[in-house]
Structure 1
Amino acid sequence: MALPLDHPVPDLPDVSPAAWREANRRLLAKALGEWCFEDMLKAVETGDGYRVDLASGTTYAFRAVPGAYGWLRVDPDSITRTATGMLGNAIAQPAWDAQQFLIEAATTIDSDPSTVATYLTELSATLAVDAARITHGGETAAELRALGHTELECRMTGHNLLVANKGRIGFSATDVRRYAPEAGQPLKLHWVAVHRGLAEFRGTSELSEREILARELDEDTQARFTAVLERAGVDPDAYVWTPVHPWQWDHAVQILHAADVAQRRIVPLGESPDAYLPGQSIRTMANVTVPERYDVKLPLKILNTLVWRGIPPHCTAGAPVVTQWLRGLVERDPFLTQECRTVFLGEVASVTVHHPYLSKLDEAPYQYLETLGCIWRESVSARKDPEERVRTFASLLHTDHTGRAFVAELVHASGLEPQDWLRRLFDTLLVPILHVLYRYGVTFNPHGQNTLIGYDDNDVPTRLYLKDFVDDVCVSFTDVPERGPEPDGHDHVLPRKHPSIIRQHVVDQVFVGHFRYLAPLCADQLGLPEKTFWRMVRQTVLDFHKRFPELSERFAEYDLLTPEIPRYGLNRDRIVVTRYGDRALRHALYPNGTHPSPLAAD
């Protein structure tokens, strides 16, 4: 019987049953590989593959290719599950259910029911997005080549290291369709005026508060916002203006800061006319109306990839001064500026807002202290050459619905032999990172979304872009004269760590976090053996050592070629160590054993 005209027709599901099973199959393979890699589970060789025996009495068997750092690359189509039935018979069946696997593995990985239930929520949210992507397909790797940096960001699939990499606790299904990067939906930002008793603006030496507003808002919008404040009966000059993510305004600011809104300490101004697209971090927005305008990093009170996605007040306050200091190092370094042509996308201005009550509460959970503020960052569009193509390092790992890897497409388009193209990639990516590490004892936590590669019109890598300084920059606690006076003043804005920890940022984010996955893609689709890949990486490091012998003591201090590296398990940290308890501070990771390094001497 037909529905009456006034009865709403329900939307069709976003995913098909087949796509749901396929998304699960892939995530189950990833979970087996990563959880064995992090020593949460033990894989036993069987002669024709591997098996994992769980305390629940269930066994998962699979085929896998051993990879670098002791990783197993699991074949999703090979996984079977064996469980004892009611009649005592154990029957192996094809396995595809990642959520069932989590429940069955819970006691083996030593996690509690509350953590498992919450993690299953993250796993389910991730599967929903992955299954929708499989259902609807997407561009081929060849078609992705034509996309700009911002549009390409929306096609990526999240951090490779993390199994539940799109958990986004706090977002509804509708929010995901509206605000997640894969939705590709432009959005407009709300602006608010915050009384100077709560808010503080900071900028680099050339940027005043008025200069930022003139760059980001046209004259008509500024006049419209000023009129709102005048109608409210307040002095416009007594307020700092800042953008706010529309979701955050609705779900966090109007609730946690209800007293400030009611008493006109926070005054909503309205929307700005520009449209923005979110990157993979969700909270960083790129302007698509005027791409040369700044990227905007805004707090979101959602839990995703291990932490609440706010912005700590010490980060907003410290961003411009850290940028100013780093620019001073870079601009005085001809190797970085002239030869490498490295681009540091500066975090040039910020607004810091403290909660008037919770900021005075000792040990208040950090998620409640990071709800309002802003960082403006230089955009890729404003810094790149006209014909230059810029893409995240992470995009090289992307595989389209046909199985074609983006790295293979770029190599093919370049016309170079795979080995020659990869040599250009390693020189472009590693040499500036090595130089900053060895020369200055500084690292940027250069994971695949913080490092971007500039390509020429033949898709050959030519230079490196780096971003996300204040959140991730670390310096060694050893004396490094080349760093000069450091920008701490009376505040602690630069974390100081042992050189071995500084080195680990490069090892974990570049080698373990990306090359571990890139090497087998190059073997499968470019015919370059993994051993050759790792030899080339090692040679890039050795060539740098040879070129700068005066830094030899630091080569030992930040040893990237050591035979064993500490194991830092991000999945283990969430499910076993940190779990979901509220904390006053973002926590430090602690090592759990070691990995053999493919960069050690043969």
Structure 2
Amino acid sequence: MGVSPNQLLQMDSLDKAARDSKEGKMMEDELNVLTFLKENEPTMVPAYQLSLARGRRGILNRLVSAMLREDIMGLVSYSYDLYVIGAIHTLNVPSIDEHWQKIIQTLHTYGLDSGRSYKIYSLSESSCIVIPVSRTYAFNRLEVAGKILHVSEKGARRLEHAVEFLQLIRSKENTNGGNGYDWTRLALELMNGSANLALAYAFWLEKKKKLREIARKQDIATTFDWVLLQKKLDPDFDASLFFEQLSVEGHNLHPGAKTKLGMEPKDVLRYAPEFNGEAAIQFAGIRKDYAEFAFIEENTKDVNEFLFTEYPTLRKAVEQEFTARGLRVNDFIFVPVHPWQLKNAIPVIYKQEIEEEIVVPIDGFQVPGGATSSFRTVVPFKNGGVPKHAIKVAVNSQMTSTVRSISANTTNNGPVFTRIIRSIMQQESELAEKFVPICECAGFNFKLKKTDMNHLKSRNLSALLRENVESFTAKDELAIVGSSLFSESPITEKIIFAELIETYAKVIDETSLRRAAFRFISEYVSIALPGFLTLMVKYGIGLEGHLQNSIIIFKDSRPVRMLFRDWGGARIFTDRLPVANVKKEFYPGSVTVTNILNEMHNKVFYTVFQNHFGELVMQACKYFGLSERDLWQEIYRICERVFADLESLPEYKENVRVDRKALYRPEVDHKALVKMRLAPAGKDYSYATVPNPLHEFWKTEK
């Protein structure tokens, strides 16, 4: 098959980017950031330039780790293992022929780290990639740490940027006839993410310096002591938001963790949480015949009254503007809008509707707030009291794998799901003491007419109001989003999790940090698992319980409750829900509702066990030398305790049997994050099959 001119152009653009990286040139996204900083934030320029290499390697390592886990292009199955001990290089190839002799000699000359393992992947008869793998954790999570090398007839050189790696792997695809992968699209995302990660590192250097200086003056030794002190000193200090904004690294597994396509550097620096991002939420009116809404109270008629009660001065701003325009307030529904969205997306997507006054942006009112780890969810500042709701708004920019608009399914199902969860929690009063829903109270969206095929319109003027995390914490408690447990502490420069274990050990009077870490994880999982498993077994609800959706409440460094939020990604197996006698009226065509049991299982197993617990276990092994097997055995023990309690109820015995068998199967599906980005646009989720660490213990018992 021939290559089209467009394909050739794309291939050339990736080749050029790889050449620029090899020659030490900056990528276009990096240059854009640097130009912006020179003109607007000149004091950040030196830190950004120093952070460029770190940002590039951070994304490169995450990319390679994900591609190894997914075995893309046979990166694992067709590679060889090299072990280096001093000057001895042991390679598990069938025979050390002339080709391998040259490779080993080149690596000898370059000098590899002793005591390290490497994956060697052949690209051709004369070249290969050498990947340092420090350890392989559960679910085939390979930790890539060190220099990734390209070895050729010219010698060995270190790869500095993700596009160099992609270009080399793509050359292998071209040789083998091709898989139809979209390498260029992924390259553009990674170039953008690398530039943004470098900017995040640069900002963090200064932020950390300032916070450490404040802590020194206040004689504070840990992040937790510092945050608790701020809560005492400043009634407007938002402790949960502080932890949300420690998201320097972003998603723990995704190579696109810092991708923000379509956003200029000034927007990233202004709005993203890792830059202490602030967003003044604005509003737009949608004429009622073009609007949809949903509320917790099913019989709510005056939807605007809900917002006017929450934001009293909004009413005055709307009435003034609508009177000037000759419009009736009661003919419209008002929707929160992100300021970036209002400036960049709304005028384009709703151009005709604005001209016809179907959509009316409101100028005279704003709700200032701080960006959470999810960027598009903004928490209004306290200003004398804890706001009732956080505001989740649409942002038409790709972040990780998804354009962060909000579907009509999500806005309409949020309050429906809230009613279901609240009904369940009334029945599960003991569970509700430690496993607490953050409810979605109201949803709004532009209603697409049947004759209009522009689906951007149904997703980009939409919003959800969700309960505010800070309202769930007492004065002596801290709410920490799960993803920030593994962020760097600005006070000690350890990760928050390590700092937490050290404090926890003192609280429980444990001299061994290893034993303290094990006990901490056991307590943590004992709080989280009963909720996730009970909702799955009894009600068919598979929550998307990854780190960003899970907020842990700590008191004296001990986990005491877990909050769970963001239900747009949940999967409900409908055959089980009727048992709860819960009224369910989901939006037509909702992906939330499924009649495929495996979809519900995969949602729980991937987000809770692989993303959430997998990270917890890995960090405990890295920082405290714990046995990974021992930790998974403890998680298995807790699973069995929950299953045993559920199995004692005759009506759920069969569900337990089915779910237990699925949870403990030898291999489980892992969301293939890179393969989805390489696949042609529009393709559904892709999965890779990975070994299940829980299977061993079930197999032993049987």
Residue number in structure 2 paired with 1:425: 524
Shift in Å at residue 230 of structure 1? 1.1
- What one-letter code is carried by the residue in structure 2 that aligns with 1:37? R
The one-letter code sitting in structure 1 at the alignment partner of 2:242 is E
Letter in 1 for 2:322: L
2:610 to 504, 512, 535: 512
Equivalences for 1:19-30 in 2 at 5 Å? 19-30=51-62
* Cα distance in 2 between the residues matched to 1:17 and 1:38: 33
Q: Indicate the SS of the match to 1:427.
A: helix
AA paired with 1:185? Answer: G
Give the superposition deviation at 1:336: 2.0
- Equivalent position of 1:126 in the other structure: 193
Please report how far the alpha carbon of residue 222 of structure 1 lies from its aligned counterpart in structure 2 after TM superposition: 1.7
The one-character-per-residue Cα deviations of 1:365-401 (angstroms, maximum 9, x if unpaired) are x445311021111111223334321111222222458
The reply to whether residue 149 of structure 1 matches residue 243 of structure 2 is no
Residue-pair matches, total: 574
- 1:260 is aligned with what amino acid? E
Counterpart amino acid of residue 379 in structure 1:
N
TM superposition outliers: structure 1 runs of 4+ over 6 Å? 7-10, 109-114
- Structure 1 Cα separation of the partners of residues 184 and 602 of structure 2: 32
**Equivalent pair of 2:413/2:586 in contact (CA under 8 Å):** no
Of residues 399, 408, 417, the one that matches 2:498 is 408
Could you tell me which residue of structure 2 aligns to residue 83 of structure 1?
152
How much does 1:17 deviate? 4.1
Q: How far, CA to CA, are the matches of 2:190 and 2:693 in structure 1?
A: 30
Alignment check: 8 A CA contact 2:283 2:366 kept: no
Can you list the C-alpha shifts for 1:16-74, whole angstroms capped at 9, x where unaligned?
44422222233322222221111112242123322242536442232421211222212
Give the Å deviation of 1:98: 2.5
In structure 1, C-alpha distance between the alignment counterparts of 2:297 and 2:339, rounded to whole Å: 30
Letter in 1 for 2:186: Y
The reply on whether 1:189 has 2:281 as its aligned counterpart is yes
Q: Select 1:324's aligned residue among 419, 440, 445.
A: 419
What SS class does the counterpart of residue 585 from structure 2 fall into?
Answer: coil
Query: Aligned to 2:479, what secondary structure does the other structure show?
Result: strand
Please state which structure has a larger fraction of its residues in helix. 2
Normalised TM-score (structure 1): 0.88
Shift of residue 413 of structure 1? Answer: 1.4
- Render the CA deviation track for 1:418-443: whole Å, top value 9, x for unaligned: 22211110111212111111111111
Larger CA deviation: 538-547 vs 91-100: 91-100
Structure 1 contact 287–293 (Cα < 8 Å) conserved: no
Q: How does 1:488-507 map to 2 (within 5 A)?
A: 488=585, 491-493=588-590, 494-507=592-605
CA distance in 2, matches of 1:121, 1:489: 37
Larger deviation, residues 263-272 vs 539-548: 263-272
The offset of 1:462, in angstroms, is: 0.8
2:684 maps to 588
Q: How does 1:79-228 map to 2 (within 5 A)?
A: 79-85=148-154, 91-108=155-172, 115-136=182-203, 137=205, 138-139=207-208, 142-143=222-223, 146-147=226-227, 148-156=239-247, 157-205=249-297, 209-218=303-312, 220-228=313-321
Deviations 1:156-183 (A, max 9, x none): 1221121121211111111111121212
Are the equivalent residues in 2 in contact too, given 1:565–1:597 (CA < 8 A)? no
Residue in 2 that maps onto 1:33:
65
* Selected match of 1:352 from 439, 445, 454: 445
> Which residue is 1:249 aligned to?
342
Shift of 1:310: 0.9
Q: Percent identity?
A: 18
Higher CA-based Rg? 2
**Are 1:557 and 2:651 matched, yes or no?**
no
Judged with a 3 Å threshold, the aligned counterparts in structure 2 of structure 1 residues 526 and 45 are, in CA distance, closer, same or farther, namely same
- Ranges in structure 1 where 5+ consecutive residues have no aligned partner: 1-6, 86-90
Counterpart residue type for residue 33 of structure 1: S
- Confirm or deny: 8 A CA contact 1:22 1:96 kept in the other structure: no
Query: Residues 55 and 134 of structure 1: is their aligned pair in 2 closer, same or farther, counting only changes over 3 Å?
Result: same
Match of 1:88 in 2: none
Amino acid at match of 2:223: E
Q: How far off its partner does 1:248 sit? A: 0.9
Instruction: State the one-letter code of the partner of 2:140.
Output: G
2:632 aligns with one of 512, 534, 543: 534
Write the deviation string for residues 511-540 of structure 1: whole angstroms up to 9, x where unpaired: 211333322321232232212211111111
Which of 410, 422, 435 is 2:534 aligned to?
435
C-alpha separation between the residues in 2 aligned to 1:301 and 1:474?
A: 24
Question: 1:64: which partner in 2?
Answer: 134
Q: Which residue of 2 aligns with 1:44?
A: 80
Question: Aligned in 2, Cα 1:204/1:567: closer, same or farther, shift over 3 Å?
Answer: closer
Select the residue among 579, 592, 611 that pairs with 1:482: 579
Contact 2:283 2:362 in 1 (8 A): yes
Q: Is the 8 A contact 2:131 2:144 kept in 1?
A: no
Query: 1:403: Cα distance to partner?
Result: 6.1
Report if aligned partners of 1:344, 1:465 keep a CA contact under 8 Å in 2: yes
Give the letter aligned to residue 506 of structure 1. Answer: V
Query: Residue type of the partner of 2:321?
Result: V
Q: Hey, what's the Cα distance between the residues in 1 that align with 2:118 and 2:428?
A: 51
TM superposition shift of 1:232: 0.9
Q: Deviations over 1:421-472 (max 9, x none)?
A: 111101112121111111111111111111111111x121111111112x12
Residue 9 of structure 2 is matched in structure 1 by none
Partner of 2:598, secondary structure, is helix
- Structure-to-structure mapping, 1:4-23, within 5 angstroms: 11=42, 13=45, 15-23=47-55
Mapped pair 1:451 → 2:525: no
Residue type of the partner of 1:80?
A: L
Superposition RMSD in Å: 2.7
Distance 2:431 2:553 in 1: 15
The one-letter code matched in structure 2 to 1:557 is V
CA contact (8 A) 2:435 2:528 kept: no
Partner residue of 1:380? 469
Equivalent AA in structure 2 for residue 430 of structure 1: L
The alpha carbon displacement at 1:324 in A equals: 1.4
- Judge conservation of contact 2:545–2:612 (CA < 8 Å) in 1: no
**How far apart are the structure 1 equivalents of 2:261 and 2:46?**
19
In structure 2, the gaps of 5 or more residues are: 1-37, 85-116, 213-220, 228-238, 509-515
**Corresponding residue for residue 123 of structure 2:** 55
